[in-house]
Structure 1
Amino acid sequence: MRIAVVGGLAAGPAAAAEAKRQAPDAEVVMFEEGRHVSIGTCEIPYYIAGHLGGADALVVNTAEKLERSRGFEVRLRERVTALDARAGRLVVDALDYGAQREERFDRVILATGARARRLGVPGEDAAGVFVIRDLEDAQAVRLWLETESVRHVVVAGGGYIGVEMAEAVRDRGLQATILDPSGRVLNNTVACEASDLMDRAVAAAGVAVRAEKPTEILADRAGRVRAVRTDAGELVGCQMVVVSIGVEPRTELAVAAGARVGEMGGLAVDDRMKTSLANVWACGDVAEVPRAPDGRRVLWPLAPTGRRSARVAARNAASRGGRADTFRPIAGGVAVKAFGIEVGSVGLSLAQAADAGLDAVAADVRHWTRTAAFPGSCPIDVRLVVERGAGRLLGGQIVSAEGAALRADVLVPLVQAGATARELAEDLDLVYNPPVAPAVDPLKVAASVAVRRAGR
């Protein structure tokens, strides 16, 4: 059996390794059009800030190491340009040689990932305008910062990458401005509906957040960025722009082969990560996965989901008729730490619950991260989103200078299992230790409020 894995940055290596484990006698080949595989993209802002040393710190695995330790073949600088699922053929371009060939396969796993969204405004091709997606992007940004006279950086987008990039810029002693139409950071990515702690920390660090979006990028005579024009008619002078407005799945290969696309633009897959094409599975950022609270298929381009979906896709692709493996719905956990503040978010925000047609209420509390009298204890804001009547936990957001992300982790299995606020309030024995957590944890305090608000 010959299994092709298309894409090698995150989900691809996990899928190839799992396929080889499941079918040791199979020939597993992974195709990656870039020069690198298995890159730690979440570490990029810290590399740009200068905290991680050289670019090698971003390399999780090399092609040679994967081949030696996992037993599958890695083809770098080879782009799969066409897929014929019915005939079992791939068309592959060898980019370094300008050659094209056909390859046979029995089964294929698509891990083509996602690309960074562009602004789509005039002047976006000016020198000094960057997206943050791969190792080459990271190296280009750091080189620009180290060789150009950069004083002010405009970050388009206030999501978690935008916030982390603004912090990286400040850590280098530069001025940063975030442009986000909401006028807030983390408004759409890591919901902070009931807390202003991150907004206050960003402002205290001297980063301006403007409720505007770029409409044009202006360059000097040498083609280098010099300003951003916004939809408010303002000109914001700068010497660098970071575009961080999200990603879009790279579905072109599969769509051209006839694969079905889901509501959010990613590849539609079943619970076994199987696409609508014969003998073709998909995983990672390109595939839509179900979320636990409402079962809706969503794009969730984060590494833990990518690896989990890769393992399920690979087990089924490599199967010779055994029991099928299925993908459990995600809880949608995500966290960010910047400017001394942690934000953790799980499941649905109140706005997302309403959009999903769920009758939900929110319980908001401000408590303490440790016993209140203990040195170092600080405020923590907790919002739990629960279903009215049933009291089912739909999601939660936690914001504090400490302990927010790990408390969000507590919510993950509860949201996945459909647990209730009452179960959290009354049945879970969470840790109590004065230097670590108060006698009644902030999650339990919020859950008690949620029980009363939900009427159950």
Structure 2
Amino acid sequence: MAKYLIVGGVAGGATTAARLRRMDESAEIIMFERGEHISYANCGLPYYVGDVITERENLLLQTPESFKKRLNVDVRIKNEVVRIDRENKLVEINDLINNTSYTETFDKLVVSPGAEPIKPPIPGIKDKAIFTVRNVNDTDKIKTYINENKPKKAVVVGAGFIGLEMAENLHHLGMMVTIIEMAEQVMTPLDYEMAAVVHQHLKTKNVEFYLNDGVSQFKRNADYLEIHLQSGRKVDADMVILSIGVKPETKLIKEAGIELAPNGGIKVNEYLQTSDPNVYALGDAIAFPHPITGKYTNAYLAGPANKQGRILANNLVLGHKQTYKGSIATAIAKVFDLTIGSTGLAEKVLKKEGISFVSNITHGGSHAGYYPGAMPTSIKITFDPHSGKLYGAQIIGYEGVDKRTDLIATVLKKGGTIYDLQEIEHAYAPPYSSAKDPVNQAGFTAGNIIEGLVNIIHWDELNQLHAANNFILDVRTPDEFELGQIEDAVNIEVDQIRNRLDEIPRDKKIIIYCGVGLRGYFASRILMQKGFSDVYNLSGGYKTYEHATCKQSNEDIFESSYVAKDSHIYRKKTSSEEKEIQSEKKTIEVDACGLQCPGPIIKLKKEIDKLENGDRLLQKVTDQGFMKDVASWCNMTGNKLISLDSDKGIISAVIEKQKKDEQCSVLNNGVAKNKTMVIFSDELDRALASLVIANGAAATGNKVTLFFTFWGLNVIKKANKPKVQKDLMGKMFSKMMANCADDLKLSKMNMMGLGSKMMKKRMMAKKVDSLEDLLKTAMENGVEMIACQMSMDVMGVDKDELLEGVSIGGVATYLEEAEKSNINLFI
């Protein structure tokens, strides 16, 4: 009779024990678990915290008693295996209940130790209000703390899958939630432009989050925690969830002298056997060659662990007949209304491994567009540029993300190609899909790229090109173009291209874009067949470009929020908002769900033209670009955006139609009174002149907007700037540019800096305010100061280096203010 010992009683260990019993009724099977629970649903823990799963017992899939009764397995909870004696084939166990030690012999030993949360030695990290989420006990502690302390503000450190799930569930409990992430994006397995979609969605849910920033210290301050960030910021919280990551728990194996892989996991062969032929391992702690790269990797996923348990048990009983082929890390997560799926290798990993690849992004609908309720779905795939072998996929959407992730994962696991995606036969009816599913479309588009029917360029490549050598062609409608465009783009609608070929240069690189890439493909085919030789279509279109290039983080959004006596969180309302709440006006509801850009805006214009002045339109839309477009449209047309909300992927916007003479509040008797200035220079005398004029205009009651661009950014830098991470070019620019306003030089007679010192001394003698004082006065007078985002990116200037109160904007922001002004200066 064989005797099997199993260390670890959760996913991998419990599955192995159950399969062993089904394969060998006579075997002696003992399973050790140092915790109180076995076979529980780790992945359900965040949802139990958020009261989505209300019954704790539902998380406990098995108990020691049920395991014994059904499977005749001796389960010993709160028993920790502390030593493996390989020579004598025995283990030493500490009985944590009775505080005793004993040994057990084995014929075969199975270890499934899992992974442990990473808790770096940050000062204050052991505070009673700081928690990890790894097991049922962790969750019990969190639930108890919430019930007893009624926290109103929670901070989640780490924005991986679990971190974001915890953020959503704490938000579901009514807390203000802040996320702190050291990387430049959330969900690091995703590529940046796909994570950018998640960033924008989190903003619609009023989740505060800081990127490129980490925690330097936790400091207890009376009844709340003060969290010090590496950037110098401080964030307050009633409780903190640590979700920084996990690492394989291999101490027991390492001390036994069993071989570890280069990445620190337990090295196993295809039969899940360690370097000791009598010891097997599975689960989060093992390292196995990746099916694509061949390098040892860990898969911190429940699905592979359960499959490994079945394979391992079969091999123990039947001999080494079944092999484990590795995991391609297929995963999925719910982040508020979004679903994010991924499988295989992301672009960033392929670059790191030096694997030649092509990537492409396509956008489609969750089902047929003519059937109500179609939701947007974005798919990015990576593949071999020659054979079309599939390497990976990332999918983001609201419905059907799971089935499409599974379809692609199945092809990928079998070593399939993009041509297999084209041929997938899926179940089709209008409520569920389209005749050509988005997965098919991803394959078709990839095929076009390999076959040379279209050349593609990506959003980040476009930003690096030299503008003089390119011609950027926007083939959307004029209305779409007005709502937002790539800088220097020329708008020729796709249906007019054949008649306007003479407007397109043949000696430049032609970069075409549309909303999502489809019309850009049509335009590319026209130009390529008309003799244009250097034509590229922007992958993912303007939708992907805008998501990736706009502001990603969402800081300081809770400054106007407070906790009232009734213990609820409220946002301070302006007097105009209070009046809006009290007013009741006729509202017409319009359903634009399923329409893709520019459909929602066209329908909005058509429907609002039918309304009387003062009436309101409630429009519901599933195209996520509408969140930004509707605000821009209202600013351009003078209609009033009353509210803008998003729930389960459906955007609801309320717009009030206004009279023509009421559409521009900045007009006085038909004449604009605002003032705008573009500050391009960082020369002291010109900066002084700008601030003197601005303060004078503000003092007369005019709204003044200063737009700082390129060298002008130096005027609004802090004197004591925090340390920020920069690339090589950013560091070089920092060394060459002025450090702050006090470091500026004169445009004439600077004389190696002597001139500027003389000027400052003369100003002091004549009691003229210094530039620093003028800046402070301007802000106090309500002068709006905007730093150009594009210039900041080019010059390597970080937001945290700028004065408090300076906002970040683009050319469209400046132009909107200039439209309302009767004076516009360039300095």
Q: Which residue of 1 aligns with 2:258?
A: 259
Partners of 1:11 and 1:19 in 2: CA distance: 12
Instruction: Give 2:167's aligned residue.
Output: 166
2:471 maps to none
The 10-residue stretch of structure 1 (282-291 or 376-385) with the greater mean CA deviation from structure 2: 282-291
- Distance across 2 between alignment mates of 1:125 and 1:109: 33
Determine the C-alpha separation between the residues in 1 that align with 2:221 and 2:112: 40
Is 1:206–2:200 an aligned residue pair? Answer: no
- The residue type paired with residue 18 of structure 1 is R
CA distance in 2, matches of 1:71, 1:250: 28
Question: 1:9-408, aligned counterparts within 5 Å?
Answer: 9-186=10-187, 188-191=188-191, 193-194=193-194, 196-211=196-211, 212-220=213-221, 226-319=225-318, 322-408=319-405
Residue 20 of structure 1 and its aligned partner are, at CA, apart by: 2.0
Q: How big is each residue's C-alpha offset from its partner over 1:334-381, in whole Å with a ceiling of 9 and x where there is no partner?
A: 000121011110101111122222101111111111111221001110
Counterpart for residue 410 of structure 1 = 407
Partner of residue 445, structure 1:
441
Judge conservation of contact 2:267–2:286 (CA < 8 Å) in 1: yes
Instruction: Write the distance in 2 (CA, Å) between the matches of 1:57 and 1:18.
Output: 22
The letter for the 1-side match of 2:199 is: D
What is the DSSP-based 3-state SS (H/G/I as helix, E as strand, rest coil) of the residue aligned with 2:40? coil
**Residue equivalent to 1:434:** 430
Query: CA-to-partner distance for each residue in 1:37-59, whole Å, 9 max, x for gaps?
Result: 11101111110001212321211
Contact 2:10 2:38 in 1 (8 A): yes
- In the alignment, residue 132 of structure 2 is paired with which amino acid? V
Could you give the per-residue CA deviations for residues 102-155 of structure 1, whole angstroms, max 9, x where no partner exists? 211111000111111113211000011000000000011111111114111110
Equivalent position SS for 1:288: strand
Letter in 1 for 2:7: V
Structure 1 residues 143 and 377: CA distance shift in structure 2, 3 A: same
Equivalent AA in structure 2 for residue 154 of structure 1: V
Residue identity in the other structure for 2:79: E
Structure 1: which 5+ residue stretches go unaligned?
Answer: none
Tell me which amino acid in the other structure corresponds to 2:411.
L
Distance 2:372 2:192 in 1: 26
CA RMSD of aligned residues (A): 1.5
Flag as ranges the 4+ runs of structure 1 deviating above 6 A.
Answer: none
Give TM-score scaled by structure 2 length. Answer: 0.53
Alignment check: 8 A CA contact 1:151 1:239 kept: yes
**TM-score after normalising by structure 1:** 0.95
What is the identity, as a one-letter code, of the residue corresponding to 1:202? L
Superposed displacement of residue 218, structure 1: 0.8
The count of aligned residue pairs is 450
Q: Greater CA deviation, 101-110 or 427-436?
A: 427-436
Q: Which amino acid aligns with 1:204?
A: T
| Counterpart secondary structure, 2:139 | helix
Identity %: 26
Q: Could you tell me how far 1:333 is from its partner in structure 2?
A: 0.7
Post-superposition CA distance 1:235-271 (Å, at most 9, x none)? 1000111011111111111110011111221100000
Partner letter of residue 72 of structure 1?
V
Aligned CA distance change for structure 1 residues 355 and 448 (closer, same or farther; 3 Å): same
The one-character-per-residue Cα deviations of 1:183-232 (angstroms, maximum 9, x if unpaired) are: 4321x1355643643222211111012111111111135xx651211110
Counterpart residue identity of residue 439, structure 1: A
Do the aligned residues in 2 keep the contact of 1:184 with 1:209 (CA within 8 Å)?
Answer: no
Q: Secondary structure at the match of 1:28?
A: strand
Q: What is the distance in 2 between the residues matched to 1:193 and 1:274? A: 40
Contact 2:301 2:329 in 1 (8 A): no
Gaps of at least 5 residues in structure 2 are 453-827
Q: CA deviation at 1:439?
A: 1.5
Cα distance in structure 1, aligned partners of 2:307 and 2:420: 27
More contact order relative to length (CA 8 Å, sep ≥ 6): 1
| Distance in 2 (alpha carbons) for counterparts of 1:161 and 1:99 | 36
Distance 1:310 1:33, change over 3 A: same
Tell me which protein shows more helix as a share of its residues.
2
Secondary structure, counterpart of 1:318 in structure 2: helix
- Match for residue 555 of structure 2? none
CA displacement 1:254-295 (0-9 Å, x = unmatched):
110011111221100000000012300000111113332223
Question: Residues 424, 449 of structure 1: CA spacing in aligned structure 2 closer, same or farther, 3 A cutoff?
Answer: same
3-state DSSP of counterpart to 1:285: coil
Residue aligned with 1:169, SS: helix
Q: What is the CA-CA distance between 1:389 and the residue it aligns to? A: 0.9
Which range moved further: 281-290 or 190-199?
A: 190-199
Q: Is the 8 A contact 1:55 1:139 kept in 2?
A: no
Kindly indicate whether the alpha-carbon contact (under 8 Å) linking 1:214 and 1:229 is maintained by their aligned counterparts in 2: yes
Q: Read off the aligned partner of 2:340 and give its amino acid letter.
A: V
Deviation at 1:323, TM superposition (A): 4.6
> Are the structure 2 counterparts of residues 455 and 260 from structure 1 closer, same or farther at C-alpha, using a change threshold of 3 Å?
farther
1:156-181 superposed Cα distances (whole Å, 9 cap, x missing partner) = 11111111111011101100011112
Q: 1:375-417 CA distances to partner (integer Å, 9 max, x unpaired)? A: 1001110101101211100010110011112100001111111
Write out per-residue CA displacement over residues 300-338 of structure 1, whole angstroms, 9 at most, x where no aligned residue: 11111111112222222334xx45221022222100012
Q: Counterpart amino acid of 1:244?
A: S
Amino acid at match of 1:342: T
Q: Match for 1:65: what amino acid? A: S
What is the Cα deviation at residue 432 of structure 1? Answer: 2.1
The answer on whether the counterparts of 1:293 and 1:416 sit within 8 Å (CA) in structure 2 is no
Give the Cα–Cα distance (whole angstroms) in 2 for the partners of residues 129 and 195 of structure 1: 27
Contact 1:228 1:235 in 2 (8 A): yes
| Contact kept? 2:189, 2:346, Cα under 8 Å | no
Distance 1:288 1:195 in 2: 27
- Secondary structure at the counterpart of residue 53 of structure 2: coil
Letter in 2 for 1:312: I
Higher mean displacement: 295-304 or 123-132: 295-304
- Aligned-pair CA distance for 1:69: 1.2
Look at both structures and tell me which one has the larger radius of gyration over its CA atoms. 2
